[in-house]
Structure 1
Amino acid sequence: MLRIAVLVSGGGTNLQAIIDAIDNGKITNTEISMVFSNNRNAFALERAAKHGIKTQVLVPKEFGSRDEFNEAFYELLIKENPDLIVLAGCLVVIPEKIVKAFQGRIINIHPSLIPSFCGTGYYGLKVHEKALERGVKVSGATVHFVDEGTDTGPIILQKAVYVRPDDTAKTLQQRIMEQAEWKILPRAIDLIANGKVTLEGGKAVIDDYDPDEI
């Protein structure tokens, strides 16, 4: 059984997609051991509580320094020791110490087709604003492993979403969540839980993968 810790900062729609996929059997051999947030008011915490999932909160501004927060964050995750850490709309920069401690065991969902519109400063609506400014005709979402860089880890899954002429950043964001994020994040977790994802030569290799299934 894969024990996952889901890290969130806001509404938790991706968390809900994971919970629903576990409930309906699209994610197998997996349980959520903890939901963590850096925001005490995150609605994601209510989603977790509704399903009886343990929650933990650490707020950076409540610590004397960022280093103190990072150390408490590290100790919390080390104590929990999940098999996989899932960044599902988590706006906390993951300290290098945590990345190294959980090498190959942290994944993230990003709302674009990496390597486009990713890296430092690209999060939330900003990703979609920049995509629309550039005039792209196709966007989407990416699930990738987390390494020491920003959105630079090995790509696991991607799904494309067409951009409409009348799209705003908010309508594009919503459609990418519905058509891509909520599909490929649960699928990636299920693949990992069933031993179908390996890292080879800096790339994520998937066994028996059919792109049409997502």
Structure 2
Amino acid sequence: MVNIAVLVSGGGTNLQALIDAVETGKIHGRIVLVAASKPGVFALERARKHGIPSCVARRADYADPAAFEQALLAQLDAVGADLVVLAGYLSILGRAVTDAYKGRMINVHPSLIPSFCGPGYYGLRVHEAALAYGVKVTGATVHFVNEVTDGGAIILQKAVEVRQGDTAEALQQRVMRQAEWEILPRAVALFCDGRLEWTDDGKVIIKEQGEQE
């Protein structure tokens, strides 16, 4: 059984999608920790309702980024996390964490990477940028996390139509409902089933069912 830790910063809608997928048997793993970047977020209440251990790992509570990252790693180690999922987690993690979980940390980003990603692109800013550029299609991406913001190997993507008259808020909701809540649980399920494989040039391929070792 794969132990999954989920890092959150807000309401936890992506966390809920993961909880639902675990409870319905779509993900062959268990969520052993929900870690929030600040207290009082609704994601912590979602964890409580489902009996999932939680904690607050707030960068401001530590003297420097290195101390924060070591504390976060200690929390992850304490629950035996095999996979770390960034589900709307807005803090940028340093090399100490990304190296420790290389190939075992994934993130969901609300655009079709490489568009509208990298430093400064998070939350509504991503959708505002998509609308300002005038793209007709946007979407979401699930990717492995490395030391480059939104730069890790892509696992899954799904496109979402941009409609005339869209606001950033309306587009954000559509991308979440039509893409993020679908591909994030699917990517976690693929990881738990051993169906993700790296190519020699650092890309990710999905093995057919029955191919996993």
- 1:1-54, Cα deviation, whole Å (9 max, x unpaired): 111000000000000000111122222x21001000111111000000000000
Write the letter of the residue equivalent to 2:54: T
Aligned to 1:9: 9
2: CA distance, partners of 1:74 / 1:52: 22
Number of the residue aligned with 2:48? 49
Q: How does 1:21-36 map to 2 (within 5 A)?
A: 21-27=21-27, 29-36=28-35
The structural deviation recorded for 1:142 is 0.2
Counting only pairs closer than 5 Å after superposition, residues 56-71 of structure 1 correspond to structure 2 as: 56-71=55-70
TM-score, with length taken from structure 1: 0.94
For residue 166 of structure 1, report the CA deviation from its aligned partner. Answer: 1.0
RMSD: 1.1
Correspondences of 1:26-175 after superposition (within 5 Å): 26-27=26-27, 29-175=28-174
In structure 2, how many angstroms separate the alpha carbons of the residues matched to 1:61 and 1:194? 37
Counterparts of 1:170 and 1:37, CA distance in 2: 23
Deviations for 1:91-134, whole angstroms, at most 9, x for unmatched residues?
Answer: 11112011111110000000000000000000000000000000
* Gap regions ≥5 residues in structure 1: 210-214
Return 5+ residue gaps in structure 2 as ranges.
none
* 1:171-199 deviation per Cα after TM superposition (whole angstroms, max 9, x unaligned): 00000000000000000111111111111
- Quote the sequence identity (%): 55
Larger deviation, residues 2-11 vs 68-77: 68-77
TM-score by structure 2 length? 0.94
Runs of 4+ in 1 over 3 A off after TM superposition: none
The residue matched to 1:195 in structure 2 has which SS?
coil
2: CA distance between counterparts of 1:3 and 1:119?
28
CA distance in 2: counterparts of 1:11 and 1:208, whole angstroms? 34
Residue deviations 1:45-85 (CA, integer Å, cap 9, x gap) = 00000000000112222223333222212222233331100
Count of residue pairs brought into register by the alignment: 208
Helix, strand or coil at the partner of 1:187: helix
